[in-house]
Amino acid sequence: MQYKIPFHFDMETADPDDAMTLAILATHPRVYLVSVSVHPGGKDQIGFVRKILNTLDREDIRIGAGTPKSDAPRVSVFHRDWIGGFKDSEADGSAVDIMAETLRQFQDSTLLTGAALTNPYALYESGIFFDRWFCQGGFAGDNIVPKEHRLEKFDGKMTCATFNLNGNPLAAEKLFSIPIKERRLISKNVCHAAVFTKTDAEMLIPFRNHNKGLDLF
């Protein structure tokens, strides 16, 4: 039986990318998605995430919530049109408790972050953290990216603010300074340079019926 890599995914719902990532992660043949935490973790966000997981027959995945400062709606019209109707829902626990439980079960689990780093920082403050972390954020400037691979809007830049890391810069600064075995950043200009064309979509059609997450994506 092929080994599956255990993952925890910390996400938000401001843009479509994290929801799409969740659909792929939850059903990827090489990934065992153990748990999810949501920033900041409003009841509408938890209901939305739960609806995705239920659609994919992954009701076993536990969902943690951060600490929202208000009851403001945080699930966009795009998300509601995409997934259909859903009800607000309570989380299975706090983001910190859910992440800590995952680490107790799977010490080699990987953290993937697609949101501001408030939830992971709260975990760090509890005294534990992941040894392997993939983070969406950061910026690879002209000193790293060859000119032929630069997007025009980023050409000439050595630095550029990114949404996820600036959502909680103090948390980001601290988490980048702690010693862990592996830490990778998927930088802003790499993400923005990704191209998904109609041809790419058509190429995936023969495979989508074999994977519910890919079909939903």
pLDDT for 197 equals: 84
- pLDDT, tens digit, for every residue of 67-90? 998 999 999 899 999 999 999 999
* Residue-wise pLDDT tens digits, 106-135: 999 999 999 999 999 999 999 999 999 999
The Cα 129–Cα 123 span in angstroms is 6
Range of the domain at 123: 5-216
Mean pLDDT across the stretch 198-216? Answer: 84
Q: Mean pLDDT in the chain?
A: 93
pLDDT reading at 99 higher than 80? yes
pLDDT reading at 194 higher than 80: no
pLDDT at 189 over 90: no
With contact defined as beta carbons under 8 Å apart, do 7 and 31 qualify? Answer: yes
Contact 138, 165 (CB under 8 A): yes
CA dihedral sign of residues 189, 142, 159, 186? positive
Q: Is the pLDDT of residue 65 over 80?
A: yes
Q: Indicate the burial class of 42 (C-beta count within 10 angstroms; 0-12, 13-18, 19 or more).
A: buried
Using alpha carbons, select from 39, 133, 51, 145 the residue that is nearest to residue 89: 51
pLDDT of residue 203: 87
Give the pLDDT score at 211.
87
Average pLDDT, integer, range 195-200: 83
CATH of the domain at 87: 3.90.245.10
How far is the C-alpha of 111 from the C-alpha of 93, rounded, in Å? 18
Domain count for the chain = 1
User: What is the pLDDT, as a whole number, of residue 1?
Assistant: 55
Three-state SS for the chain is CCCCEEEEEEECCCCHHHHHHHHHHHHCCCEEEEEEEECCCCHHHHHHHHHHHHHCCCCCCEEEECCCCCCCCCCCHHHHHHHCCCCCCCCCEEHHHHHHHHHHHCCCCEEEECCCCHHHHHHHHCCCCCCEEEEECCCCCCCCCCHHHCCHHHCCCCCCCCHHHHCCHHHHHHHCCCCCCEEEEECHHHHHHCCCCHHHHHHHHHHHCCCHHHHHC
Q: What is the pLDDT of residue 32?
A: 98
